[in-house]
Copies of this chain bind each other. A is one copy, B any other.
Amino acid sequence: MYKISKQREWIYTYMLEHPGQHFSAEDIFAGLNEMGKTVSLATVYRNLKILQNEHRIGSLMLTSGKQVFDQTCRPHDHLICTHCHRVYDVDMTYDRSLERKAENQLQLPIESHSLILYGICADCLKER
């Protein structure tokens, strides 16, 4: 179905090579072009959507309404720093039993959940 295009591989590789970061389409567009790998913004958007459909990457909608993409689509929580506004992946706190607990409390089937923690990240904490 899909062909292997160099642009799609650039985009995916770019994400894997920056672990822990969360990118907007614009970030990836700018990052690749700086490396001399010319891609159009439309292609970045199209491929991010394809990679997501293939479950190779995940995404997150920020309260600003901007979408950012994640290297992985494995279930995990996020920490958003209230100082620098960076987004971090957090595996340690991820707790599937929240869903069972909610099911019991609400008496409704719960399939998944999304938890965002707001606090101060390690970097910002160090700087003070």
For residue A92, which residues in chain B have a CB less than 8 angstroms away from its CB?
A: 105-106
Give 8 nearest A-B pairs by CB, closest first.
A110-B119, A114-B116, A112-B118, A93-B102, A61-B63, A92-B105, A109-B120, A65-B65
A30 CB-CB contact with B under 8 Å? no
In the complex, the answer to whether B118 meets A90 with C-beta atoms within 8 Å is no
**Using a CB–CB distance below 8 Å, which chain A residues touch chain B?**
61-65, 67, 79, 82, 90, 92-93, 98-99, 101-103, 105-106, 108-122, 125
In the complex, the answer to whether A108 meets B120 with C-beta atoms within 8 Å is yes
Q: Which of B61, B108, B116 contacts A113 (CB 8 A)?
A: B116
In the complex, the answer to whether B117 meets A110 with C-beta atoms within 8 Å is yes
